[in-house]
Amino acid sequence: MKFALLVNEGPFTHQASDSAYRFAKAALDKGHQVMRVFFYYDGVNNANKLSSPQADDRNLVKLWSELATKNKIDLVVCVAAGLRRGIKPDVLAEGFRISGLGQLIEAGIAADRLVTFGD
């Protein structure tokens, strides 16, 4: 199945990003395709490479980067939501790109399922 994911919350304050990451990993392990992950609302904070959690905790920004690089997943950060929250090209972690909301709608059209992770 072709999945697209929508992540609506930032790391740590909500579980949405953790759940989405684990869902993506599980789907890939089962042989499904994750065609795009779109980061919206505070979800854009998942792309901030300046995030530095304590060493004994998970680093979600890094986990997403690694997953995307390894599996060639398209990680898209909403430009308008990102600008409001200071997520600009110079703080963008590897594997993410900034684009418009059209990429979310397009993913909804193209995927078999769009799965939302939010509050």
Partner 1 sequence: MSEEAEFDTQGVVKKFLFLNRKAPYGTIYALEILESVLIAAAFEQDISVAFVDDGVFQIKKGQDTKEVGMKNFSPTYRALAGYDIEKLYVERESMEARGLKEDDFLVKVQVIGRDELASLIDAQDVVITG
- Return residues touching partner 1 (CB under 8 A): 6, 8, 35-36, 40-41, 68, 72-76, 80-81, 84, 92, 95-97, 99-102, 104-110, 114, 116, 118
Q: Which is nearer to partner 1, 56 or 78 (CB)?
A: 78
Nearest distance in Å: CB 30, partner 1: 20
State how far the alpha carbon of 80 is from the alpha carbons of 23, 42, 48, 102, in Å: 26, 11, 15, 11
Residue type, 17: S
Is 62 a residue of the active site? no
CA 18 to chain centre: 10
Nearest distance in Å: CB 79, partner 1: 11
The span from the CA of 6 to the CA of 89, in Å, is 20
Which residues form the catalytic set? 78
